[in-house]
Amino acid sequence: EPEVTQTPSHQVTQMGQEVILRCVPISNHLYFYWYRQILGQKVEFLVSFYNNEISEKSEIFDDQFSVERPDGSNFTLKIRSTKLEDSAMYFCASSGPPGTGGEAFFGQGTRLTVV
């Protein structure tokens, strides 16, 4: 069964450093998303991406964050100058073309720890 894969599963970084979280969405999907879940809190939307551009972003997704689809398979989230409060589980998700149901399929997540 196709699945969304994320790497790494766990990333520890020092405050102020840049990190890149990587995702391989399901191959025929067209819509891509990043969400985050701070420990013990709800899952929050960060950004959606369609047709090689951001379609929507939350107020969390400020200039510190960027997304990219550098090739036909990968979808990345870059966090510049990380802060302690960026520590969270980051989930990538993808959903298929219109007519396939609209549900998003999530990866296993990357646990980011900023120290």
Partner 1 sequence: AQSVAQPEDQVNVAEGNPLTVKCTYSVSGNPYLFWYVQYPNRGLQFLLKYITGDNLVKGSYGFEAEFNKSQTSFHLKKPSALVSDSALYFCAVSLSGGYNKLIFGAGTRLAVHP
* Amino acid of residue 37: Q
Q: Tell whether residue 60 is a contact of partner 1 (CB under 8 A).
A: no
Name the one range near partner 1 by CB under 8 A: 12-20, 50-58, 69-77, 79-87. Answer: 50-58
Q: Which is nearer to partner 1, 50 or 81 (CB)?
A: 50
Span between the terminal Cα atoms of the chain, in Å: 36
Q: Give the pair of three-digit tokens for residue 40.
A: 């013990």
Distance CA 89, CA 12 (A): 12
Return residues touching partner 1 (CB under 8 A).
Answer: 4, 6, 31, 33, 35, 41-45, 48, 50, 56, 58, 91, 93, 95, 98, 101-109
